[in-house]
Structures are given as structure tokens and as C-alpha cells.
A and B are shown apart, each in its own frame.
Chain A
Amino acid sequence: MKKITKEEIIRVAELARIDMPETEAVATADEVSSILSFVDILQSVDTEGVKPTSQVTALSDVWREDLVVSCDVPQAELLANAPMLEAGYVKVKKVL
């Protein structure tokens, strides 16, 4: 069985920007471990030389004209969902 350590789950949670208190880390690591054990069966298949599939439509490089198009939604409505605004801009907390 694939076993993820407490340290690994804390590192992955940090990458995903999800808080992982020490008290929950072991239980969460166990849950993710059981999912990874469930998919471990994949390792038993020989895939040497098999091309990976990332999409199924066979479409590639779908181009469109680079045009300015009008938007029928007013700016105020588009920005209305942002929690913090200033002078028509989306505002964020300080970066550093």
C-alpha cells in the first residue's frame, strides 16, 4: 500500500494553498494514501511505448482572428463579484 507521510501531505497542501494543521495531517495523509493505493493497479500494466492521451477530439491549434469584440456586460457588473475593488481595479492584499 502506498503510504504518504505527514510531511509529504503538508508539503502538497502548501503547494495547493490549503491549510493543513498538524492535527489533521495524519488523517488526511491516510485518506489520500487509500486513494493512491486504489489507483496503484495501473502500475501492473506494461505501457512501454504507448503514446499518452491528453485529449480525445484530435483537434489541435484551434485559431481565431485576434479581434477586439464588444462586451455587452457593463464593467461594473463584471467586477461586482470581486471582494475588493479600487478605482475600477481588483484589489488584493499585499504580496510581501
Chain B
Amino acid sequence: MVSLEYLTIESAHELLSSKKVSCVELTSYYLTRIKNLDSKIGAVLTVLEESALHLAQEVDEKIASGQTIGMLEGIPYTAKDMFLTRGVRTTAASKILDNFIAPYSATAIEKLNKAGSILIAKVNQDEFAHGGSTENSAYQITKNPFNTEYVPGGSSGGSAAAVAADFGIFSLGTDTGGSIRQPAAYCGVTGLKPSYGLVSRYGVVSMASSFDCIGPITRTASDSTIVLEAIYGRDKMDSTTIDVELPPSDSVKLEGLNVGLASGFTDHPSITEAKEFLQKSKYTTVDIELPNSEMALAAYYVLVPSEISSNLERYDGVRYGMYSATAKDLKQSYTMTRSEFLGPEVKRRILTGTYALSAGYYDAYYKKAMQIRTLVSQQFDALFQTCDFILTPTTEQPAFKLGAKSDPVEMYKTDILTVSANLAGLPAISIPAGIDSQTGLPIGLQIIGRLGEDAKVLALAQDFQAQTDWHNKVKECLI
């Protein structure tokens, strides 16, 4: 029997194509793992057993008839519950969508369907992606597969935990201020936030529309490249998508590229590790000063709650979702529905955003934060005159214990190194780059690139993984 543990997309494709493993066997392997082990992790909200096995059988029939299959064909994956999936419950981990059955699928899901990938489960997250630990889900708490006393990060914590626990080969997540990269770092896996507008957000529950990006969480940067190439591109259903053609990642020339190392982190284990890799390779390095991270974080926590307060107006109990039946009139129905079914962090962000946008405060908060956003982008533009990449730790610390950050502002601060890329719309990836000696938990390295240069970021990450072994540490995690 061939081992199916921790397959990559490429290795699974090879097993399927060479008929060493059937697609039904492969799909059943993940479904069985979820059944037997998810009680320890809490990553999964909905399992799509029947449709997954049906699709797997179709792939097997195709292979048996002698046809060749595409790279993503028959590859089982999971998706954050932010992604609409036709005929399947989609909750965004909120009680207000408890009964919501999506009438259509997100473009990214449709594209993966066309490529033949098999969606096996919808996974947990912070409610409406508001959080950094997946403790804000209205349904369950997800735990870190490296140590179940710790959080998996968030908001795409179910996705990162599912990839780390081998509940599928990859997962789709969303990243508004670090929600793909931070949980990827905490769970020892690879997480890509593409350039803003590269991947269509049609059919993905909105959080903050000028920030939201969707991307893959995978075991390797090579797998991230495969998924990104399948899901990116201009979509007439999302007018913010950009018309960019990504060059094949193996055509990207890395020789002589200049890597900017952010000052202040020289002793961080991820940077020590990166420096060792860079010295052995063909890169040159330059020390740089990052845009002020505290300022970026503050601007983020004005702009994002403001956009949230506007986007979440749609949850009013009229067209879909839960509603409060006892209200006397329409206004009371809105208020009772929202009060009963939205969670505390969601309400906090709606109130903060409503306040920041209200008459008399707009200039002091919203406009000011939009101006800071301009300054952050300009600072990145200047930095990218002197270097091709910027390296930082993904997070200052590895994962924290469950319940350790009950103060919302303390939770917000875990995004401090990731939000800047979202303010400027830049592509950024988190890759495993160490294990914390005290806790045994993974440490992530973040690579930020120029807008639209996602292929370069992925190529550097692939080169790092070709020469280091940190991305394989996930195979030793407890579960």
C-alpha cells in the first residue's frame, strides 16, 4: 500500500495518473481522517462526502478509459466557509447565515470544479473573518494540530489546520489583513495572499472590499503556484479584478535579485534562517526600514471596520439568513435579527465602523486613515526602487494559547506585520521557516513583492523550500 500521508498536489497527481492509487481511495483517505480525527481539531463545519465520492468515481472512470487528467483533477481540497458553494450550506461561521444554502458558487470554486478538483469539506473560521484565532466562530473553536492547547490562528484557521492535519491537500482561504498568512505561519504551512484584484471575489462573503483577497493554503509554494494559476484572472462578475498575465514560475529569473531585510527583526529566527539561505544563494541583500507598522495597523483598524459596517448592512433578515419572527415592524425586524444572530466581535466592528463614518468624525478617522494608506503605499513604492522583495517574520510570536487574547485590541496586534501588504494591495506569502525552541510551534517567514509580481514571490518561496526542510515539519505534528 502506497503511503498517502501529506501528499502534495504534484505527488497525488503522479499517484493518480500512474494508477497506483484510485481517486476514490484518495478521497476516502481524507474523509476518514476527518471522521476519525477532527474531534481533536475542530476544523471542519460541513463534510461533502456524497458529492466528493461521486466526483472521485468520475475521475477514476476517466483514468480507466485511458484519458490523461489535469494537474488538479481528482485533488481533494477544503474551502473556508466564506466561499459560496451551490446547494451547500455556507455560514461564514455566523449564526445569521445558519440556514443559508448558497444558490450559486464562487468563481474560485467554479474554476476549481472545472479543473476537476474535489471539494470535500467547508471549514471553520472566525465569524465573517473577524479575528485572528478562529475562536470567534459561532460554531466551534479550532485548535492547532501542532499542539491542541494553542490557536491555529485566523481568520482562515480552519483552512490552515485542515492542511496541517492532512484533511485534504490544500484549502482556499481569504486574507483581509493577514487571515491566510498568519494561520499558515501558526500551523507550519504555506499561505499566499495574492495581489489585490488578481483573484475574483465573486461569490465570497464580503468583509472589507478594498482589502479582501482570496488565496490558497498549501503544503508547498509549488502547490500554491498550481492553485493560483487555476483561480486567477479577470472576471466580469467582479469589476475589481485586474487584467494581469502571470508568467510561468519556472521562467522567473532569480539571479541577482535584491532582497530587502527589514530592520528590527535581525534576531528573529525566521530572518536568521532567511539570511543563511540568502547567503548561500544568488541573491544580494539590503537592509531596509519598513513603513511604520503601528501606523499601518491603526489605519487598517479604522478602514476595515468602516467597510465592514457598510458591507454587513445586508444581513437584515429579509432576503436570506436567519430572522427574528416576533418583530412588530420592519425596523424592529432589522434590529432584532442583527442583535440576536451576529456575534460580539462582529457587532464591535460594526459599531466602531459606524462611529468612524458618522457625521463629525469622518475626517478625523476615515479620511485620515485613507491618507495614511496613501503614505504606506508610497513608502512601499520607494522601497521597491531599492529591492525586489521584502522579508519580515509573518508574526512576531508563534501561536498563542487558546483564550490568551481576550482583549480585542491585543488580538488585533497579532496582525501587525501582515496588514501593510493589504493596505498597499501587494502579494505576500508566509512560508515555514523554523520551529520555536520553547513551544515547538512553527515560525513563519513573510515575503512581500511588488503589485502584480506574484510569480516572483512564489519563485523565491519555492527556491527557499528547495533548500530548506521547514515546510516538511508539519509531517511531525501531533495529530
Nearest CB of A to B241, in Å: 9
Known contacts A13-B351, A31-B348, A95-B330; A64/B236 CB under 8 A = yes
Known contacts A38-B301, A52-B367, A92-B318; A80/B101 CB under 8 A = yes
Tell me the bound Cα distance from A81 to B408 in angstroms. 33
Main secondary structure of the interface of A (DSSP, over half): loop
CB of A57 closer than 8 Å to a CB of B: yes
On whether the beta carbons of A43 and B364 are closer than 8 Å, the reply is yes
A interface, size bucket: 35 or more
Residues of B within 8 A of A18 (CB): 335, 338-339, 342, 347, 350-351
The contact string, 1 if C-beta is below 8 Å from chain A, for chain B 286-323, is 00000000110011011001000100000011111111
By beta carbon, the residue of chain B nearest A77 is B103
On whether the beta carbons of B100 and A15 are closer than 8 Å, the reply is no
Contacting residues of chain B (196-238) with chain A, CB-CB under 8 angstroms: 196-197, 210, 236
Tell me the bound Cα distance from A41 to B334 in angstroms. 35
Tell me the bound Cα distance from A90 to B86 in angstroms. 21
By beta carbon, the residue of chain A nearest B301 is A39
Tell me the bound Cα distance from A65 to B99 in angstroms. 35
On whether the beta carbons of A47 and B375 are closer than 8 Å, the reply is yes
On whether the beta carbons of A56 and B451 are closer than 8 Å, the reply is yes
CB of A68 closer than 8 Å to a CB of B: no
Contacting residues of chain A (57-96) with chain B, CB-CB under 8 angstroms: 57, 59, 62, 64, 73, 77-78, 80-84, 90, 92-96
On whether the beta carbons of A17 and B239 are closer than 8 Å, the reply is no
Tell me the bound Cα distance from A94 to B197 in angstroms. 41
CB of B8 closer than 8 Å to a CB of A: no
On whether the beta carbons of A19 and B339 are closer than 8 Å, the reply is yes
By beta carbon, the residue of chain A nearest B340 is A19
Tell me the bound Cα distance from A7 to B409 in angstroms. 23
On whether the beta carbons of A42 and B104 are closer than 8 Å, the reply is no
By beta carbon, the residue of chain B nearest A96 is B329
Known contacts A31-B408, A35-B348; A59/B240 CB under 8 A = yes
On whether the beta carbons of A32 and B355 are closer than 8 Å, the reply is yes
By beta carbon, the residue of chain B nearest A39 is B298
B351: contacting residue among A28, A50, A52, A93, CB under 8 A: A28
Known contacts A12-B355, A59-B197; A38/B368 CB under 8 A = no
CB of B412 closer than 8 Å to a CB of A: yes
By beta carbon, the residue of chain B nearest A71 is B104
Nearest CB of B to A29, in Å: 9
Nearest CB of A to B114, in Å: 15
On whether the beta carbons of B338 and A42 are closer than 8 Å, the reply is no
On whether the beta carbons of B242 and A57 are closer than 8 Å, the reply is yes
A81: contacting residue among B305, B321, B355, CB under 8 A: B321
On whether the beta carbons of B371 and A50 are closer than 8 Å, the reply is yes
A42: contacting residue among B298, B319, B374, CB under 8 A: B298
Residues of A within 8 A of B355 (CB): 4, 8, 12, 32, 36
Tell me the bound Cα distance from A54 to B97 in angstroms. 29
Residues of A within 8 A of B334 (CB): 17
CB of B373 closer than 8 Å to a CB of A: yes
Nearest CB of B to A10, in Å: 11
Known contacts A18-B335, A28-B351; A54/B370 CB under 8 A = yes
Contacting residues of chain B (340-370) with chain A, CB-CB under 8 angstroms: 342, 347-348, 350-352, 354-355, 358, 364-365, 367-370
By beta carbon, the residue of chain A nearest B355 is A12
Tell me the bound Cα distance from A9 to B355 in angstroms. 8
Nearest CB of B to A90, in Å: 6
The contact string, 1 if C-beta is below 8 Å from chain A, for chain B 12-44, is 000000000000000000000000000000000
Tell me the bound Cα distance from A52 to B368 in angstroms. 8
CB of B285 closer than 8 Å to a CB of A: no
Residues of B within 8 A of A40 (CB): 298
The contact string, 1 if C-beta is below 8 Å from chain A, for chain B 85-101, is 01000000000000111
Tell me the bound Cα distance from A85 to B162 in angstroms. 39
On whether the beta carbons of B320 and A81 are closer than 8 Å, the reply is yes
6 other A-B residue contacts (CB within 8 Å) besides A35-B412, A84-B323: A43-B364, A45-B372, A52-B373, A57-B196, A81-B103, A93-B332
Ranked 7 nearest A-B pairs via Cβ: A52-B370, A56-B425, A81-B320, A19-B339, A47-B371, A62-B239, A50-B371
Q: List 25 A-B contacts (CB under 8 A).
A: A4-B355, A16-B309, A16-B338, A16-B350, A17-B331, A18-B335, A18-B350, A18-B351, A19-B338, A35-B301, A41-B294, A41-B298, A42-B295, A42-B302, A42-B365, A43-B368, A47-B368, A50-B375, A59-B239, A82-B320, A83-B322, A90-B318, A92-B318, A95-B329, A95-B331
